[in-house]
Copies of this chain bind each other. A is one copy, B any other.
Amino acid sequence: MNNNIYFTPGPSELYPTVPQHLQEALAQKIGSISHRSKQFQEIYASAEAGLRQLLQLPDEYEVLFLSSATEIWERAVQNNVRRESFHLVNGSFSKRFYETAQELGREAQQHTVPFGQGFDTASIKVPASAELVALIQNETSSGACMPVEEINQFRAKSPAEALIYVDAVSSLPYPAFDYAKVDSVYFSVQKCFGLPAGLGVWLVNDRCMAKARELQELGLSTGSYHTLPSLLEKALSHQTVETPNVLNIYLLSKVLEDMNSKGIEAIRKETEAKAAKIYTYLESSSVFSPAVENPQHRSNTTIVANSTVPASEVNKHLAAFNMQVGSGYGKYKESQIRIANFPAHSPEQVDRLLEKLQDQFR
């Protein structure tokens, strides 16, 4: 029996209702049903409707299921960039999207700031030739986030035809996006939705679809089975091109019912209240300090702290109380800790984590 509470930034703690939904999935034999059955179409439709309700997603957006956010980077470049993309880079994941564009032969441009910093939106110039502008609302590696009000400024700062992409892998459903001011938002279910890994969700509007068709009409390759038009064709009948991770789509549909019952406002308020407690502790501690200096750019869902004690020592202490935080990312593995503050983490669990940290690391 594993009694750990995982404050790791994804995979992380499962949403508390997931075990019971998994039991129901077994009872209903969801693992055996055909992905071409009416039953699967209803599951897809339920997950889509649940997301539309939770996120207040406008009609011009489609909900597409892929295997990971990593895959979404590749499909975004293949389908929405003919020559040039522009990336805001301030950590390992935003950098990876930039590198993906390069690997696929595009002229990727980047605006970089040091790891752990947010962006000074006013000073950023989007190149006139950028076809895709890659913003990162929440950089999982560093804990830096971009306020929604700044994201909303990019439409006016960008070429009229440019598509605004937002990485919300480890923050949705927390940020209240204005979906009319961006064109695509994507996330992974193993972060804030508290599910097992193996599913990426790609929200794309009609402008992204039009761009993919434009590239196809020019005779350019947009991939094979996961082109946007192929994905859309199946999505319209609540199906996927390939045999998908049916079990995870089912679990997502169920967790979305639970989240909608709780209400997005309650989830957002609880997230903020827990984050405030965590940051208050980090600021008062002599061992830890928030890794992101500017409070405006501190993530409320993946909270990163510099640590004068090696991360492995922090986790050794926490292990005695069946808790675990994330170590720092890459070269910050021992010098930082990362605390996931997802909807799956109850206020009581966060209180207990802070209590046990405080006991040892004042």
Contacts and interface: CB of A to CB of B under 8 A. Distances in A.
Interface in A1-37: 1-2, 4, 6, 8, 10-14, 18-19, 22, 26-35
A18 to B, nearest CB: 7
In which size bucket is the chain A interface? 35 or more
A70 B241 contact: yes
B195 A31 contact: yes
B247 A196 contact: yes
A138 interface: no
A74 B18 CA distance: 33
A104 B224 CA distance: 6
Number of copies: 2
Interface string A126-165: 0000000000000000000000000000000000000000
A198 B195 CA distance: 14
A33 to B, nearest CB: 6
A123 to B, nearest CB: 30
B19 A32 contact: no
A4 B33 CA distance: 10
A197 B2 contact: no
A103 B224 CA distance: 6
Contacts of A117: none
B100 A198 contact: no
B221 A104 contact: yes
Contacts of A68: 67, 242-244
Interface string A69-110: 111011001000000000000000000000010011100000
B31 A196 contact: yes
Interface of A: 1-2, 4, 6, 8, 10-14, 18-19, 22, 26-35, 67-71, 73-74, 77, 100, 103-105, 188, 190, 195-199, 221, 223-225, 241-248, 326
10 contacts: A11-B32, A14-B31, A18-B31, A22-B22, A30-B196, A68-B243, A70-B242, A74-B224, A104-B221, A198-B245
